[in-house]
Amino acid sequence: MARAKIALIGAGMIGGTLAHIAAREELGDVILFDIAEGTPQGKALDIVEATAVFGSDVTLKGANDYADIAGADVCIVTAGVPRKPGMSRDDLIGINLKVMKAVGEGIKAHAPNAFVICITNPLDAMVWALQKFSGLPKEKVVGMAGVLDSARFAWFLAEKTGVSIKDINAWTLGGHGDDMVPMVRHSTIGGLPLPDAVKQGFMTQAELDAIVERTRKGGGEIVALLKTGSAFYAPAESAIAMARSYLKDQKRVLPIAAWLSGEYGVSDMYVGVPALIGANGVEKIIQFDTNDDEKAMFKTSVDSVKGLIKACQDIDGSL
Ligand code: TXD
């Protein structure tokens, strides 16, 4: 069987890290695409030389022409500009919407059968625009944010309680903004829902509240430390988990930005929900039961995504 072809659109910090992980894992042959000349070629050459050391039978190639992504099985999109300190994700909207138009048209022309994972911020609006610009089926276009936000939530819980990260299952839903919804009742430590973990003394309620708050601001915490860009290791790992589930038909249930048609009371937009990813793309949306508080938080988050979509429509009349 031929090796999978993975096209990485954007060869910046996340794009390069994605290429490195995909190569180490022998997930498939990698095309690293960017408008910057030299960067994708240089990174591809650097990583392909490393395959001699870690022994992976994959090829990597840098590209500035969309023709090189032809027939890709997976496209992971990081093209655009990242946040600088003091910038909100929404400030990026004008610049990155234009980038999504170019990328969507490139994918439509050269890789219409791909499973597309958008990472570019503001995520929930950019994945929506990318689906429109590319015209690909909605179950084949998804956004990565929830896996990352949930990973941060899980790690903060592991650090606080001293329980192995392997035995923590954390979920965040909603949009990828500071009003995302960490699902306290549905997240577990060793199978115990977090409210029960508090009762059993793993942490205090105040400590749990602080972790929820830190999760919401997790992206900004890294931006403030790095000063010249945003997180890239954990975002890349998160997108690879999604690509792997598609390519290997693993049918993992992951929190992703998925197109909703009535689930969670939301229609015709992308928001973070648990979804099963298999060989057909998004095969099922999993619906958590939500109480009034959770519903209200989810609605606030959905409303801010609606605001971003409206801003996109104001900028580009074709949307
Ligand atoms: O959870 C999440 N979804 C995120 C999202 C977590 C972290 C970062 N998140 C966002 O990912 C971030 O706000 C950015 O919008 C993207 C990519 O972040 P990265 O850190 O990789 O940004 P870089 O290093 O600036 O890389 C972007 C590359 C850079 O090489 C540009 O030359 C290229 O994108 N670029 C383009 N490539 C192709 N086509 C076009 N039009 C283009 N414009 C810029």
pLDDT in tens, 177-199: 889 999 999 999 999 999 999 99
- Give catalytic status of residue 110 as yes or no: no
Q: Is residue 90 pLDDT above 70, yes or no?
A: no
235 lines ligand 1 (CB under 6 A): yes
Instruction: Give the pLDDT confidence score for residue 89 in this predicted structure.
Output: 62
Enter the ipTM.
0.99
Helix (H) or strand (E) holding 258: strand 252-261
First to last CA, the chain: 39
pTM of the model: 0.97
In angstroms, the Cα distances linking 184 to 167, 211, 218, 288, 303 are: 15, 10, 16, 12, 21
Model confidence at 307: pLDDT above 90: yes
Determine the pLDDT at residue 178.
Answer: 86
33, 34, 128: which to mutate for ligand 1, most atoms within 8 A of CB?
Answer: 34
118 lines ligand 1 (CB under 6 A): no
141, β-bridge pairs: 116
Cite the DSSP H helix spans in the chain. 13-24, 39-54, 93-110, 123-134, 146-161, 194-199, 205-216, 218-226, 233-247, 292-315
Catalytic residue among 20, 110, 176, 186: 176
How long a stretch of residues is the chain?
A: 319
Mean pLDDT over residues 148-156, rounded?
98
Interhelix angle 93-110/123-134, nearest 10 degrees: 40
| Lookup: tokens for 288 | 């958590």
Residue 58 · residue 31 · CB < 8 Å: no
What pLDDT score was predicted for residue 1? 83
Question: How high is the mean pLDDT of the chain?
Answer: 96
Residue 116 backbone dihedrals phi, psi, to 5 degrees: -110, 125
Residue in the structure block whose two tokens are 């960490």:
182
